[in-house]
Amino acid sequence: MDNKNSEKIEHVLVTGAGGTVGGLVVPGLRERGLRVRALTRDPSRRTFPAGVEVAAGDLADPATLDGVFDGVDAVFLFPVAETAAAVVDLMRRAGVRRVVVLSSTSVSDGDDTDFGYRHHRPVEEAVERSGLEWTHLRAGEFMANDLDSYSGSVRAEGVVRAPHGDRPWAPVHEADLADAAVAALTGSGHHGKAYTLTGPETVTAAERAAAIGAALGREVRFVHLSDEEARELWISQGVPPEICDWLLWEAPDGWDPSGLVSADYEKVTGRRGRTYAQWAVDHRSDFS
């Protein structure tokens, strides 16, 4: 272990602190007794735990980040590819020692034509070049994405609509991502590591409908969509066309889903990840 890794982390800046993952990282750090500065574009729209220092700023506009990183030991970094180099340079100049990046499993494929790769890999590269201690949390699909996709139709009709209803994925609970971030920000032995974070088991879209129904105590039907129907629905919900193309990825012949589940969450935290069934229970009110 080098000297940097042996130095205690006491003060952490959380970017994207008002978001799905960052909003859980903040209280996770406070529970460990750390000082936390929460960065958000509009502090008036979010309430943070007592003792959290709130800073206004936008990673997409480095000019708004003057002084934001001062006095901070570590940063949880939300990905903004276009300004990553400038933001990381600000962190380095301010004396930040450690950075944990919320990244994507799409980076592992090395396909620079892929939307996910283009959005996340430049952030990883900027951090790797910086000389800071770094850890990448390469997340798979978020279970929380299903709130946007399904909550309205479940509430109104008791229906989940999706393409490829029998295709397994291993989506990850947002609380697991936050747990892994807190562990990497505060613990040792994570420098230079890229962790693949998924759920502990695979689940199909049809099985998600069943899990949501079980959490609600009523039937939730699954309705299969063609790719064309799914694309039309998603675009109507505001999903950019290039992301629709990414989401409608076609599995090649012979594709083996057995490698979808990663054990990295358990390696980082020492416990098994949360299942989709647990996530559905956690978000029961969102579907009611």
Q: Tokens representing 92?
A: 């380095």
- One-letter amino acid for residue 261 of the chain: V
Contact 87, 59 (CB under 8 A): yes
- The single-letter DSSP state of residue 9 is P
Rounded-to-integer distance, Cα 128 and Cα 62, Å: 19
150 burial (CB, 10 Å; 0-12 / 13-18 / 19+) is: buried
Distance CA 43, CA 55 (A): 7
Tens of pLDDT along 229-258? 999 999 998 888 888 887 888 877 788 888
**Confidence at residue 219, expressed as pLDDT on a 0 to 100 scale:** 97
Which pLDDT score is estimated for 245? Answer: 85
pTM beyond 0.75: the answer is yes
Contact 117, 140 (CB under 8 A): no
The two tokens of residue 75 are 């940063």
pLDDT at residue 271 in the model: 97
Q: Enumerate residue ranges in the chain where pLDDT < 50.
A: 1-5
In angstroms, the CA 102 to CA 92 distance is 18
As a whole number of Å, the end-to-end CA separation of the chain is 50
Candidates 179, 181, 171, 164; CA nearest to 146 is 171
Helices 115-130 & 84-94, crossing angle to 10 degrees?
20
Per-residue pLDDT at 6: 52
pLDDT (0 to 100) of residue 242: 82
> What are all long-range contacts of 81-85, with beta carbons under 8 Å and residues at least 24 apart?
81/118, 81/119, 81/120, 81/121, 81/122, 81/123, 83/59, 84/122, 84/123, 84/125, 84/126, 84/127, 85/122, 85/126
